[in-house]
Each structure stands twice: as C-alpha cells, then as structure tokens.
Homo-oligomer: A and B are copies of this chain.
Amino acid sequence: MRKSGLSMDDLARHLGLSRATVSFALNGRTDVRISEATRARVVAAARELGYRPHAGAQSLAAQRTDLIGFVTDIPASPFGGGIIHGAQAAAWRRHKLLLIVSSEGDPEIEATGVEMLLDRRVEGLVYATQMHRVATLPAAVEAVPTVLVHCTSDRPGAVSVLPDEVEGGYAATRRLLAAGHRRIGLVNLAAGLPASTGRRSGYERALTEAGLELEPALVRQGDATATTGYDLAARLLDLADPPTGLFCATDRMAMGAYDAAKERGLRIPEDVAVVGFDNQEIVAAYLRPALTTVALPFAEMGVAAVEMLAATAAGERVLDRTLTGRLVERASV
C-alpha cells in the first residue's frame, strides 16, 4: 500500500500547532488573524510533506461540495463538445468541478445519473443536449437549481441558454448576399424544430432587408443527413431558374449539396456558392473546397450555464439567455 497521505491533523502535530491554525493558514483566511510567520511555516510544511486537503471532508464540514452536475447526450458526438469545455472552464474559475454524466440519450441512464449526482450533493445541474430541442427532464432535477443548454423544457423554473438561430441564419444569408447572389436557396431542416424555424426566419429577414422577394420554391426541407441535402440541393439546382447561392441548415446537408453541385458540373464557389451551419470541423474544414459555415457559440453557452447557476446560488433571479454564433469564412462562397 502506498503511503496513504497525511491529514491536516498530522500536519498540525508535526508543526506543533492546532488543526484550526493550520486550516486558517492554508485557506488564507483574512477574517481571522494568523501571524505571517506561522502562515508561511504552515504553507511550506504542507508543500514539503505533500499535504493534500481532503475535498470530501472539506465538503462535509463546510457544507458545500463545489460540485456541479453536468448531464448530457453530447460526448460521443462531434456536436457541442465546446459546451463541456466552456462549462468546465467557468466551473474551475469558481473552484468547482464538473461531475459529468454522459447519457447517450438513454433516459434511464439519465435518471440514474441524476440520482447519483444528487447523492453527491451537486450544487446545481447543467443539462445540455447536442440538438436544439425540447427536453424531458428526469423528475429528480427539481431538487436542485438547473440550467438547460441547447434545449428548453416546460418544467417551471428551468432556465435555458440557447444559440441565436435567427441571427445565425441571417449571418449566413447575408454572406451570400454580400457575394452578390440574388437567388439564394435554403436547404432547411424539417419543419417544427427550433433550429429549422429560426434559421429560416433569419434567412427571410436577410432577403427581405435586401429588397428581395421570398420565393417558396427556393426553400426545401428534410432531415439533417447528407443524403437529404443531396436530394434537396439537386431539386433546387435543377430548377429552370436555379439559385446561385445555397444556404444549408447543416454542414452535413452541405456535404450532400456539394455532391449535387459536382454531379452537375457546377464549381463551388464559382457557379454555386454554399454556406453551411454547425461548423463541424471534420466536415466543414475537409470538404473541398472548405465550407464557409456558421459556428454556434458552444463554449460561451457552457460558460453562461455555469455562471447562471452561480447567480442562482447567489440568490439572483436568472433569465433565459441567447448567444449568437459567428460566421467562419472558408472557401465555399
């Protein structure tokens, strides 16, 4: 067995001080007076002997765990990984650790996970989804302040941080307009999804602002796959008066659109310009030519979630937040 680490008691005894003094010194507390000399001596001894505070015991005594629960269906996917990272960074800044439960979308894992998190006495819960959707939270989350990321819920008191889909659609379309395109097709997601509705209204706003007529024939929708992207783009490009710019609501769909264009001998961006959405590196950056696309502000969303949790804990009243993404310029426009 490895030398099992010394306790604060050991350290205090070694220094001929009381546990209390050591605790005060180590925590650098200013509301209690410890001579500078003693403080330094304690800190030095702690470092030298490799003393490690026992976070669990601290939690028990101090009545706070510094733990934030993070439940998500993200990790195994390329979507929204930034949320975790942003959340972790924000948590660390507050000396808190993220306790992550990766549900892979399985409600049972989710429920069990939340239970485990509550047993660990997490101070708050972040519930993040990879797709912008309406989520059904396990009932147990009631027990603790919760912030939803990338999703909403009808559960009262649950606050969300969401990407600004409208602004994203607007930015994408504006980019095509700026490149001189006047007939712009929209390869959209299936109707009803927040992402679909939002991106479309951004698209429409941009066109309207540019003084263009909205043509229903230029808007198609389907699921988020490359195959569907191919089909929808093909139909648009086969129109008598085809668009010269394509806004695809998903990088995956853009991937399909590339194929449709190439099959027709159309060069990107010379003959048809394409803007995607999601900035999935693996697709966007490696498509040929590389895809200009809209990146959702995932990291910022993660940060916001943790900050909102902190604000809630501090007794502030917290409201939903919407964060805007940014256009990533590459070579497809």
Contact = CB atoms under 8 A, between A and B. Distances in A.
Interface of A: 2, 5, 52-57, 59-60, 65, 74-78, 81-82, 84-85, 88, 92, 97-102, 104, 112, 116, 118-121, 143, 225-227, 230, 252, 255-256, 259, 262, 280, 282-283, 286-288
Nearest to A65: B56
5 contacts: A56-B121, A76-B84, A77-B81, A88-B101, A282-B282
A97 B116 contact: yes
A75 B59 CA distance: 28
A121 B77 CA distance: 29
Contact of A256 (B98, B119, B256, B286): B286
Total copies of the chain: 2
A75 B65 contact: no
A78 B116 CA distance: 27
Given A55-B121, A98-B100, A119-B53, A92 B112 contact: yes
Nearest to A286: B226
Contact of A102 (B78, B88, B112, B286): B88
Contact of A288 (B98, B102, B259, B282): B259
A60 B57 CA distance: 6
Contacts of A77: 78, 81
A64 to B, nearest CB: 10
Contacts of A262: 262
A85 B59 contact: no
Given A99-B97, A99-B99, A120-B97, A252 B286 contact: yes
B85 A55 contact: no
A143 B112 CA distance: 30
Contacts of A97: 99, 116, 120
A286 B253 CA distance: 9
A116 B67 CA distance: 12
A282 to B, nearest CB: 6
A225 B65 CA distance: 44
Given A84-B76, A98-B100, A143-B2, A54 B286 contact: no
Given A88-B102, A227-B286, A256-B286, 14 more contacts: A5-B143, A54-B119, A56-B59, A56-B121, A75-B81, A75-B85, A84-B102, A85-B102, A85-B104, A230-B288, A252-B282, A252-B286, A256-B288, A282-B283
